């Protein structure tokens, strides 16, 4: 009997689905089906992408994509915080660790809050909704010590503080009420409590005092000096997040006992494997799903990665290699842009609308999986189109800049124009606060 190569084992397949390159590779397979008209839920009109590129060009500015912008919604908050720490004699390394603490929990709180919720900043009359509202709220939760186990140091996130988080505490801090409802409140709270367990379970990454910012020490050990610049590969940061935060995610698909996270089956891929795929052993996941039909997204991990790169670069001057492996984020703003411009259209009758006339689907629905996979590849194409339009290379116009200044912003603007009463996406996602 022939011995199958290790890369075909269930464990190897599971580990591969958790890597950065697997996201783009698997999404490209779905995109290939779209070009053949072989998706189950969507028709694809690539000729309409030019209109998306022109729309993005008309609104584009050039900051990188990251949580920093949302935390500064309406006015600067991070720079004044850094100045307070500097005046108190806090060194730059510790300041960076504190920002990593803040940015990580802020992203974990950042899944869609729904159309009705808003946050009014204390001491002001300014109200913020969606990502900005969640970001501003997270700053206040951080500075008041909600995530810290140390009374002396409120501006910290650690396992002791997170273990004391409750739904009621998050609800109060987020100003949630009957009149101000939030989608996925329990899921957000669970992520924070589970983060406490993850921090304690990985002292080699998060240190003995179990705080996210201590990953900086781990990354420092993985880095190398290139002249005066410290360089670290993006795979090191990705590994910290995909492995170190693995315990926080809800139990979904597993393969050979490995939890896969934000990975979902795409039935359209069934029967469209390559000859190489067809030669693989018939491994099944815990849910009896063919691993060759699984598509990884790891959206929140990607969002955290983009968000943590920025403070490390800005405060410490480090350089990250391999950032080209990062993908666009498959979420409802970026994806909604494609649907609202008709690049992707739901086939008639494949999804029944709800009472509002809008499709409303859970993240596991095959239509959502197709939508997200197409979004990843189309974001690459939009970025290439913008570079071509302005004669820029990848270093001069990064994917992160396109996401922040063009597609995410564009998705929000076109949604507000087409659906002014809610500003919501063209396909509503039933969110538990742990995916979108």
For the stretch 348-362, pLDDT in tens is 999 988 767 789 999
pLDDT level of residue 111 (50, 70, 90 thresholds): confident
Backbone angles phi, psi at 252, to 5 degrees: -125, -130
Structure tokens at 58: 């008309």
What pLDDT is attached to residue 353? 82
What pLDDT is attached to residue 181? 94
| pTM given for the model | 0.88
Task: Give the span between the Cα atoms of 328 and 346, in whole angstroms.
Answer: 22
What pLDDT is attached to residue 249? 85
Highest mean pLDDT out of 73-77, 288-292, 432-436: 73-77
Tens digits of residue pLDDT in 37-82: 999 999 999 999 999 999 999 988 765 556 777 888 888 999 999 9
Cα distances from 118 to residues 114, 131, 132, 336, 429, in angstroms, run 9, 10, 9, 21, 18
344-346 vs 360-361, strand pairing mode: unpaired
Task: Give the span between the Cα atoms of 130 and 408, in whole angstroms.
Answer: 13
Mean pLDDT of the chain: 90
pLDDT level of residue 3 (50, 70, 90 thresholds): very low
Q: Which residues contact 54 (CB under 8 A, 6 or more apart)?
A: none
């Amino acid at each position: 009997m022939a011995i199958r190569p290790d890369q075909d084992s269930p464990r190897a397949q599971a580990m591969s689905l958790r890597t950065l390159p697997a996201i783009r590779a698997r999404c490209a397979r779905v995109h290939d089906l779209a070009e053949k008209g072989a998706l189950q839920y969507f028709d694809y009109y690539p000729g309409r992408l030019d209109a998306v590129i022109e729309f993005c060009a008309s609104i584009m500015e050039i900051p990188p994509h990251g949580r920093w912008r949302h935390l500064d919604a309406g006015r600067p908050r991070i720079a004044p915080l850094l100045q307070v720490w500097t005046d108190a004699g806090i060194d730059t390394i510790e300041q960076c660790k504190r920002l990593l603490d803040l940015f990580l929990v802020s992203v974990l709180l950042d899944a869609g809050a729904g159309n009705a919720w808003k946050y009014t900043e204390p001491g002001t009359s300014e109200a913020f909704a969606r990502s900005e509202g969640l970001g501003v709220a997270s700053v206040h939760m951080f500075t008041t010590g909600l995530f810290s186990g140390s009374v002396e140091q409120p501006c910290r996130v650690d396992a002791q503080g997170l273990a004391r988080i409750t739904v009621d505490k998050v609800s109060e801090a987020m100003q949630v009420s009957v009149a101000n409802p939030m989608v996925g409140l329990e899921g957000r709270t669970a992520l924070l409590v589970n983060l406490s367990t993850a921090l304690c379970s990985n002292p080699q990454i998060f240190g003995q005092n179990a705080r996210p910012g201590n990953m900086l020490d781990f990354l420092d050990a993985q880095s190398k000096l290139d002249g005066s610049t410290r360089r670290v590969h993006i795979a090191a940061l990705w590994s910290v997040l995909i492995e170190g935060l693995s315990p926080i995610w809800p139990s979904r698909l597993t393969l050979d006992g490995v939890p896969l996270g934000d990975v979902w089956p795409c039935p359209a891929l069934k029967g469209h494997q390559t000859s190489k795929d067809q030669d693989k052993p018939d491994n099944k996941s815990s849910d009896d799903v063919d691993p060759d039909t699984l598509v990884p997204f790891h959206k929140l991990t990607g969002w955290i990665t983009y968000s943590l790169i920025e403070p490390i670069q800005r405060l410490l001057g480090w350089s990250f290699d391999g950032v080209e492996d990062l993908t666009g984020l498959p979420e409802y703003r970026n994806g909604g842009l494609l649907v609202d411009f008709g690049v992707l259209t739901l086939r008639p009758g494949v999804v029944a609308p709800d009472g509002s006339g809008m499709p409303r689907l859970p993240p596991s629905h095959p239509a959502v999986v197709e939508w997200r996979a197409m979004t990843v590849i189309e974001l690459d194409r939009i970025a290439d189109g913008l570079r071509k339009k302005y004669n820029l290379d990848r270093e001069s116009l990064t994917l992160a800049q396109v996401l922040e200044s063009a597609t995410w912003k564009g998705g929000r603007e076109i949604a507000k124009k087409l659906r002014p009463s809610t500003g919501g996406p063209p396909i509503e996602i039933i969110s538990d606060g742990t995916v979108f």
